[in-house]
Amino acid sequence: MPRARSVILGLGGYLAHDANAALLVDGHLVAASQEERFTRIKHDGCYPRLAIADCLAQAGLAPADVTDVAFAEKPVQSALFNLTGQPGNALTRALGRFLPERVAGLYTTPARTQFPAARFHHAWHHLSHVAGAFHTSPFTRAAFLCVDGKGEDYSASAGVIDHGEIKLLWEQPWENGLGLLYTLVTAHLGFASFGSEYKVMGLAPYGRPVHVESLLKLVHTDARGGLRLREPVRFRHTVMTAAVPLVTAATGIPARGKNDPLTDAHVDLAASIQKLFEDEVIKMARFLRADTGEANLIFCGGCAQNCVAAGRLRALGIFETLFNSPVGGDMGSGLGAAILLARDRVAPGEKLRIAADGFYLGSEPGPAPTAAAPWNVPYTGSLHDFVAAEIASGKTVGWVRGRMELGARALGARSIFADPRAPGMQSRLNLAVKFRESFRPFAPAVLAEDVGAWFDSAAESDYMNYTANLLPARRAALPENFSAFKLRDRLDFPRSEIQSVIHVDFSARLQTLRSEVHPDFHSLVAAFKKITGLPILINTSFNVSGQPIVRTAAEGWDCFLNTDLDLLVLNDEVFRNPALKTRDEKLTWLAQFSKSA
Amino acid sequence: MARPILQIGLRLLTAISRFLAPAPGGGWRRSSRNPRDLLGR
């Protein structure tokens, strides 16, 4: 007897941050998208109505076709934790089980209104992360380590997943764990807490980790990576800001205002929190390896987006194989919740394999706006050959082609590309194109077949999810007093042939390009290599500071007009920049995004 | 009428939760959550 059709809509990040939707039809992943790409508010945590509509449109389905809605959170558990300030227990679990769906109130009302005939389900938040990562990984069995800002009432979870059957072994209750500590220091350093932690990670290599001992005064910790703040700091923005003086008191370093200059002490603090973070994650991984004996590890949760820690974890070889999902944070939580529900599509003992197709799961960009037509650049032959030649001549290129990526990183469908050899390219892109801090490094996208000739790890990093180090033979000699240089001088000192994508410590956040995962992007870099001999391009997201990555061709055109990019590719067409606006005009345009930064 | 009842219920729940909560101080604890539970809210 044929099974009834199953249309599962996974929803995550709602009433929190990075609201998202994913659609599974009969166990097949059809589409997934983030609400911020539609509302143009970065990390938007509203009900993801537009992302849902986009997923349904891609599948050719109507809301009435949805049979099940899976949320990546148990809202009653979260609400009770927020109200009582105490982790859940048997009583709160029972309340969550037996109170009617409408008790979830505000949380589920929009979905119940939109999908009145659907069944509703609520997955544990961390297990949504685990399922989303595991079922898109090559593993059939693995240990998992989910380190997060906050689940319902816990900050980390660990266990074993075998063909989708989850054994949840350990958890760190309360929310004030490792993720919250990192966020607290991020706030102290003057970056927006919640979502700017990656800036601290990017700043860390410039500093020396001399404040680790001071930071440890803020926490209880143990040999297994069990960590909790001594003060009862809560994971709320206002409280986080109020807690910043705790960091000042522990370290003696004054908090930095948003627009204040970065001092050496601030840079050293960034290096210190990154070092502490990596050390704690490594302790957790060692504990889990010894406890489970598993060979593979799924590293997920918001903290797993820290690709430097993931790179170090992989290099240490604590587990034989590591998978760090590109959507292991909240932007992929809806996908994980949907997968947890879809697991019964396969027989017990089998793994539900989800083809993520390079995580190009969003919609196509649509046609180029008619306003762009006068600036169309005709070309003959292949688009990839033409654009590669332009990049090799020093041009910067916006690229909007094919289905959009899911996740925080542009993987080659909504990207800006440039030549990493070009002098000053890092500053040019940061200041004149992206309007962001000059210290921020860019990622090298490297042909997978050539990565071993440049970096010390030839293992895959399809989604910019690991760091690796430039081979010593590719490095320039540094002066003995290099570490005493000012930040700006260290940044500008010629360190390698591909300066713009190599950090001051010779690390890089790699994206390795396999033709079967990123066919379009692979073709472009292969064409660039044919011209220059270099199998590497700069790949950075197509947006400006504070703005979500562009989604449509029209948004790409609008962003293009307000930056110093030279060329724009929309689908198969190429356009030149019609007018370079004044800096003030650009900053006026940019101001509309400042509220969401 | 409903509000005082809710407040009393919440205080009771807080007291019970505080009694049942793991001791502060951090560290991994054995998880009692049911990973297959998709019905509990």
CATH number of the domain at A431, please.
3.90.870.20
* A-B contacts at Cβ under 8 angstroms: 115
Residues 6+ apart with CB under 8 A from A317: none
Q: CA geometry: angle at A152 spanning A76 and A68, to 5°?
A: 60
Q: Which of B10, B28, B40 sits opposite A224 (nearest CB)?
A: B28
Assess whether A312 and A335 both reside in one domain.
no
Q: Which of B33, B39, B40 sits opposite A168 (nearest CB)?
A: B33
Q: What is d(CA A519, CA A357) in angstroms, rounded to the nearest whole number?
A: 10
Assess whether A170 and A131 both reside in one domain.
no
Q: What is d(CA A44, CA A146) in angstroms, rounded to the nearest whole number?
A: 23
Beta carbons of B27 and A96 less than 8 Å apart: no
Assess whether A387 and A452 both reside in one domain.
yes
Assess whether A146 and A180 both reside in one domain.
yes
Provide the 3-class DSSP secondary structure of residue B27: coil
Assess whether A317 and A344 both reside in one domain.
no
Assess whether A406 and A459 both reside in one domain.
yes
The pLDDT value given to residue A108: 85
Number of domains observed in the structure of chain A = 3
Assess whether A60 and A112 both reside in one domain.
yes
Beta carbons of B35 and A122 less than 8 Å apart: no
A407 backbone φψ class: left, alpha, beta (φ>0; ψ -120 to 50): left
Assess whether A466 and A497 both reside in one domain.
yes
With respect to residue A128, please indicate whether it lies within any of the assigned structural domains: yes
With respect to residue A49, please indicate whether it lies within any of the assigned structural domains: yes
B17 in A contact zone (CB under 8 Å): yes
Residue A542, domain extent = 370-475+491-596
Provide the 3-class DSSP secondary structure of residue A516: coil
How does DSSP classify residue A429?
Answer: I
pLDDT in tens, A21-59: 999 999 999 999 999 999 999 999 999 999 999 999 999
How does DSSP classify residue A279?
Answer: H
Provide the 3-class DSSP secondary structure of residue A333: helix
Assess whether A228 and A264 both reside in one domain.
yes
Whether residue B39 contacts residue A119, with contact meaning beta carbons closer than 8 Å, is answered with no
Q: Which residues of A touch B23 (CB under 8 A)?
A: none
The pLDDT value given to residue A237: 66
Pair of tokens at residue A504: 């001051």
The pLDDT value given to residue A414: 97
The pLDDT value given to residue A148: 92
Q: Which residues of A touch B22 (CB under 8 A)?
A: 87, 173-174
User: Among A179, A253, A269, which residue's Cα sits nearest to residue A219?
Assistant: A179
Distance from the Cα of A463 to chain B's closest Cα (Å) equals 28
Measured on CA atoms in the order A90, A93, A98, A103, is the torsion positive or negative? Answer: positive
With respect to residue A397, please indicate whether it lies within any of the assigned structural domains: yes
Residues 6+ apart with CB under 8 A from A98: none
User: Among B9, B3, B10, B22, which residue's Cα sits nearest to residue A226?
Assistant: B22
Q: What is d(CA A176, CA A483) in angstroms, rounded to the nearest whole number?
A: 34
Pair of tokens at residue A135: 């079922």
The pLDDT value given to residue A3: 64
Which of A9, A73, A86, A298 is the mutation pick for testing B, counting most B CBs within 10 A? A86
With respect to residue A319, please indicate whether it lies within any of the assigned structural domains: yes
Provide the 3-class DSSP secondary structure of residue A205: helix
With respect to residue A482, please indicate whether it lies within any of the assigned structural domains: no
With respect to residue A269, please indicate whether it lies within any of the assigned structural domains: yes
Q: Which of A84, A122, A172 sits opposite B41 (nearest CB)?
A: A122
How does DSSP classify residue A449?
Answer: G
Assess whether A128 and A153 both reside in one domain.
no
Assess whether A193 and A108 both reside in one domain.
no
Output the domain CATH number for residue A317.
Answer: 3.30.420.40
Q: pLDDT under 50 in chain A at which residues?
A: 597
User: Among A27, A66, A19, A4, which residue's Cα sits nearest to residue A355?
Assistant: A27
pLDDT in tens, A231-290: 877 777 666 778 899 999 999 999 999 889 889 999 999 999 999 999 999 999 999 999
Measured on CA atoms in the order A441, A445, A448, A449, is the torsion positive or negative? Answer: negative
Measured on CA atoms in the order A581, A443, A273, A280, is the torsion positive or negative? Answer: positive
Assess whether A151 and A105 both reside in one domain.
no
With respect to residue A299, please indicate whether it lies within any of the assigned structural domains: yes
Q: Which residues of A touch B21 (CB under 8 A)?
A: 86-87, 89, 173
Distances (CA, A) of A304 to A63, A147, A161, A326, A343: 33, 7, 18, 9, 24
User: Among A248, A31, A47, A277, which residue's Cα sits nearest to residue A177?
Assistant: A277
With respect to residue A2, please indicate whether it lies within any of the assigned structural domains: no
Q: What is d(CA A482, CA A466) in angstroms, rounded to the nearest whole number?
A: 26
The pLDDT value given to residue B24: 66
Q: CA geometry: angle at A257 spanning A256 and A260, to 5°?
A: 85
* N- to C-terminal Cα separation, chain A: 53
B10 in A contact zone (CB under 8 Å): yes
The pLDDT value given to residue A597: 43
A105 backbone φψ class: left, alpha, beta (φ>0; ψ -120 to 50): left
